[in-house]
A and B are shown apart, each in its own frame.
Chain A
Amino acid sequence: MKTPAPADLHRWSEELARNPASLAFLPLARAYRRLGRRDLALQLSLRGLEHHPTHVEAHALLALLYFEAGDRSRAADEWATVLRLKPGNFEALRGMGFRYLEQNDVGRARQHLERAALIRPDDTTVQEALRLIRHRETAGARARPDTAMLGTARPRPAAVEPAAPAPPPPAPPRSAYAPPPAASPSAGAVPKPAPAAAPAPAPAPASAPVAAPRREAPRYELPPDPARLFDSLMAAGPLLGILLLDRRGLVLAGGMRTAGAEVEELGAIIGAAIDEAIRTVTHLSLGDWKSLVLESEAAILQVAPVTEEALIIVAARTGTPMGWILRASAQAAITAERYVGAGV
């Protein structure tokens, strides 16, 4: 994990002093967390959320800070908020999955963890937790209550959770999403989500704890023809097409019935609009861009990043309700994430 530069800290602090509603609170809080100043990070996050109460990443960071401080109840509250704002947030799905697991609410735990596994099939902590759930279910009544596989067979107050290990120590900080030490069924402990805030997984440093042998992730069946990746979504409504593009504007998958546009040309040209959009949000201090919706005479296009390497374009007929397009786009993004995650 990169150490924040003093110049950046100074710049964000100044910006925040000038404008308390500035979004600079978020990088500053993350930087303080990385420096081990979780108290300051917490204060900044709470103040920032006063100005931006629906900021997903700020809630996610707050959840992490609470989790690291051992306050799992508040962490769960924040993850629940994240999921209300962004139902497909991996960290929140994983965090809530583990929380339900601790409370022995296996149904909800599985529901959240399976959704998390769809987004990141290779996350070892999620796979380990799902394996525990399956083990528990097959063991049935024999596993309850004294030999409970999940550590906390009955809901207990957080203060008296002998089976649950202490929260991860504040230092040294681990690499972003480096897998935490794996829990084994015999240890009777619930695996913990990795304490990190960066949005993308990073390889664990050599000194990171050794993870359990990688479990077989649910296998994602690649479509035989990439052009048909979104066919099931296309059948559902007034969509003209869905395209998955790489960062150079080249089409990775999907297709377009007709939007008056050539597929390859559309991919290349939309890049110009994205460049301008990024410039605009940067100058207006709005943070990272999340989506761009274009309504033209011929079609409505919704463009959104899927990963740092890929973006998705959903095209619909003019007059299609915007809410419908956004929902279709969210579903397409999940399919695209799985496709990209499959190493295509």
Chain B
Amino acid sequence: MTDEYRESIVGLSRVPGVSGALVVDPDAGVTVVEELRPEVAGPATAALAAALFQRTAQAARAAGLQRLDSLQLEAQGGQVLIMDAGGLIVVALIEDDGQMGRVRLEAHRAARALRALAEREG
């Protein structure tokens, strides 16, 4: 099963400029699977991304924006893309020269694959 989860983010992790791709349990803030460059701290990234997504999703619901599908945080040194994938989230760390169009495309694919997995597992 882990292989299938990992397979879902392989495409994302191979987009130029992506330094890490993770599937994270947003409730627990822990990694399910990850494809990271050695310098990227997986557990910290998972915990921070989960907290950011959860809190922002709560804010969006409270503001009447309904369900949060994705969140893209841009900073001077890079970007973080987080996408809802059913009960999980897909997280991508992107360098500041990353190809965001491809990153978003692959993240959508990963999220769809994870939702399909979740439906299959019931």
Contacts and interface: CB of A to CB of B under 8 A. Distances in A.
A291 interface: yes
A196 to B, nearest CB: 19
A299 interface: yes
A280 B76 contact: no
Contact of B48 (A265, A269, A280, A290): A280
B55 interface: yes
Contacts of B120: none
B116 interface: no
B75 A322 contact: no
Given A55-B96, A270-B59, A322-B104, A290 B66 contact: no
B118 interface: no
A260 interface: yes
Contacts of B73: 277, 280-281, 289, 291-293
B66 A260 contact: yes
A138 B34 CA distance: 66
A289 B75 contact: yes
B51 A57 contact: no
B113 interface: no
Interface residues of B, number: 36
Contacts of A55: 76-77, 96
B78 interface: yes
B65 A292 contact: no
Contacts of A284: 44-45, 48, 75, 78, 80, 93
Contact of A270 (B48, B63, B69): B63
A166 to B, nearest CB: 33
Interface residues of A, number: 43
B97 A297 contact: no
Interface string A284-300: 11111111111111110
Q: Binding site of B, secondary structure by majority: helix, strand, loop or mixed?
A: mixed
Interface in B62-96: 62-78, 80, 93, 95-96
Contact of B44 (A283, A288, A291): A283
Interface in A81-96: none
A296 B68 contact: yes
B103 to A, nearest CB: 11
Nearest to A53: B97
Nearest to B71: A294
B49 to A, nearest CB: 7
A286 B66 contact: no
A297 B78 contact: no
Given A297-B66, A301-B65, A322-B104, A23 B76 contact: yes
A52 B96 contact: yes
B77 A296 contact: no
Given A262-B63, A298-B65, A280 B72 contact: no
A186 interface: no
Contacts of B96: 52, 54-55
A211 interface: no
A261 B97 contact: no
A280 B44 CA distance: 10
A56 B76 CA distance: 8
B67 A296 contact: yes
Given A280-B73, A280-B80, A294-B60, 14 more contacts: A23-B77, A52-B77, A260-B63, A270-B63, A280-B51, A281-B73, A283-B48, A284-B93, A286-B77, A289-B73, A291-B74, A294-B65, A294-B70, A295-B71
Interface of A: 19, 21, 23, 52-57, 259-262, 265-266, 269-270, 272-273, 276-277, 279-281, 283-299, 301, 322
Interface of B: 39, 44-45, 48-49, 51-52, 55-56, 58-60, 62-78, 80, 93, 95-97, 100, 104
12 contacts: A52-B77, A54-B96, A261-B65, A269-B62, A269-B63, A273-B56, A276-B52, A286-B76, A286-B78, A294-B65, A297-B66, A301-B65
The 4 closest A-B pairs by CB, nearest first: A287-B76, A286-B75, A297-B66, A260-B64
